[in-house]
Amino acid sequence: MSTRRMRVTHVITRLIPGGAQENTLDTCLLLARRGHVVQLLAGRLHGQGDTGPELMERARAAGLDVVVIDSLVRPVRPARDVAALFALLAAARRFRPDVIHTHSAKAGVLGRLAGRIAAVKAVIHTIHGLPFYPGQRSAAAMIFRAVERAAAPWADRIITVCDTLREAALAAGIGRRSQFVTVYSGFDVDRFRSPATPRHAVRARLGVAADAPLVGCVGRLVPLKGQDIVIRAFARARTIARRPDARLLLLGEGMLESRLRALATSLLGPEGARFAGHVPAGEVPDLVLACDLIAHGSLREGLARAITQALVAGLPVVAFDLDGAGEVVRDGVNGYCVPPLDEDLFARRLAELIADPERRARMAGAGRDEMAARFRVERMVESIERVYREALEARVRPRP
């Protein structure tokens, strides 16, 4: 297989804190470190829920060729979408990439189309999470499915971050099985295996006693992330477990923060929950490692980094059995997978872990090394690089 240097363009709608965005940035940084020439195209941050320029600043500080596409926005805006398509085409024609790799729904459609029009040698798309989901309005779900079906043939390969997403896409009529490859979303696993700041110091800063059970919940405070479910379940769990000293730590910020704070105060009192707000990526591992377990109530995920990072950190996880959660959370072994929206069982599983430190300790060591190996960021980028080369070679291989 060829090892020549490639020119690669990544396209994403918004470079905001989140699993898909961190995956994209990590891929760009490591590809550049491996000798490839990398360009990153992203929409401008504006609007409610767009939190902070941290990832954009990291990309520029690392010397990446970052181009902001003002017209690339998340909502459907026909005039701006056409303008974004032309801007992506212009960027591709200037940079002349060998590979264009798209992420997220809007950038995925427009970027793949731009790649085909510009005759880019290989077009790759990653599905971090499908844009349609159970409970969504039927008209919106039908439109999103139709658009994804139409865009699938524009990609040479479609990467999914878990096998469950691949099967869900195929069941919805998106793409051909031969297009798909699973590449788990990697990260710096070493940071989640040993804290940079001692656990007792982090807890002291949070105002949490050393022996108080601390339940973490990581994610942006936006609809479908399920923090309201976690707060309600945690309130019941600490009553069942008879641990009124248990505390809940929520990492993230977003449009629902004031509503969630009010809910936490009403159910847990003024001291029951800690809201950490926006946490820079470098500080997340120490906060996770200060917890005793992680509760993840999201109702729409591909494979949540909050789950995989917790398992690498040696923390048991309670999560809904949605999308890729069941591929890594082995029920009763390293955590619990709960049927979606079963808040009663979610609360009881939390209570079992809050009340039983020995069970938490047994679960902590279950498959931790295996998870660290599977989710190492270097392994992810090596796999993605292999996908690029195979797609490029398939394009130039003579047909029989």
Predicted pLDDT of residue 371: 95
Contact, 252 vs 219, CB < 8 A? Answer: yes
> Is residue 20 domain-shared with residue 168, that is, in the same domain?
yes
Do 86 and 23 lie in one domain? The reply is: yes
| Same domain (yes/no): 336, 391 | no
Q: Are 112 and 30 contained in the same domain? A: yes
């439109």: which residue's tokens?
143
**What pLDDT, on the 0 to 100 scale, is given for residue 301?**
82
Is 355 found in the same domain as 263? yes
pLDDT tens digits along 6-51: 999 999 998 888 889 999 999 999 999 999 999 999 998 755 444 4
Q: For residue 310, give the CATH number of its domain.
A: 3.40.50.2000
Strand pairing class (37-43; 317-320): unpaired
pLDDT at 397: 58
Number of domains in the chain: 2
Is there a domain that residue 2 lies in?
no
Is the domain of 157 the same as that of 21? yes
Check: CB of residue 21 under 8 Å from CB of residue 14.
yes
Clarify whether residues 233 and 159 are in a common domain.
Answer: no
DSSP per residue, 81-138: HHHHHHHHHHHHHHH--SEEEEESHHHHHHHHHHHHHTT-SEEEEEESS-S--TTS-H
Q: What is the pLDDT of residue 400?
A: 41
Residues 68 and 91: beta-carbon distance below 8 Å: no
To the nearest 10°, report the CA torsion of 19, 67, 253, 341. -40
Please give the DSSP secondary-structure letter assigned to residue 151. Answer: H
Distance of CA 76 to the CA centre of its chain: 22
Question: Which CA distances in Å does 187 have to 220, 263, 310, 344, 362?
Answer: 18, 33, 12, 33, 24
C-beta pairs of 204-210 under 8 Å, 24+ apart in sequence: 206/247, 206/249, 206/274, 206/276, 206/290, 207/271, 207/274, 208/247, 208/249, 208/274, 208/290, 209/245
Q: Would you state the pLDDT for residue 44?
A: 83
Token output for 351: 């209570």
Closest CA to 59 of 386, 306, 281, 252: 281
Tokens of 196: 């940079």
The conformation of residue 375, written as its DSSP 8-state character, comes to T
Report pLDDT for 49. 43
- 166: in domain: yes
Same domain for 155 and 214, yes or no, is no
Token pair in block for residue 336: 């619990």
In a domain? residue 120: yes
Q: Which of 360, 321, 324, 361 is nearest to 341 (CA)?
A: 321
User: What's residue 363's pLDDT?
Assistant: 95
The burial class, CB within 10 Å (0-12 / 13-18 / 19+), for 68 is middle
Residue 346 shares a structural domain with residue 317? yes
- How open is the CA angle 149-380-122, to the nearest 5 degrees? 45
Same domain, yes or no: 271 and 140? no
Structural domain boundaries, residue 45: 7-186+376-396
Residues in the chain: 400
Mean pLDDT by 10 residues, the chain (400 residues): 82 90 96 96 68 79 91 92 97 96 96 97 96 78 92 97 96 96 97 95 96 97 95 98 98 96 98 94 95 95 94 97 94 96 97 97 90 96 98 72
Q: Are 185 and 375 in contact (CB under 8 A)?
A: yes
- pLDDT at residue 175, rounded to an integer: 96
Digit-coded pLDDT (tens) for 43-77: 987 554 444 578 888 898 888 899 999 999 988 89
Q: Of 158, 141, 97, whose CA–CA distance to 391 is shortest?
A: 158
Q: Calculate the dihedral angle through the C-alpha atoms of 383, 389, 393, 395, rounding to the nearest 10 degrees.
A: 100
Indicate whether 1 belongs to any domain: no
* 211 and 97 in a common domain: no
Q: Give the per-residue pLDDT at 98.
A: 97
Based on the domain organization, do 155 and 259 belong to the same domain? no
pLDDT of residue 4: 84
In a domain, 385, yes or no: yes
Quote the pLDDT of residue 225. Answer: 95
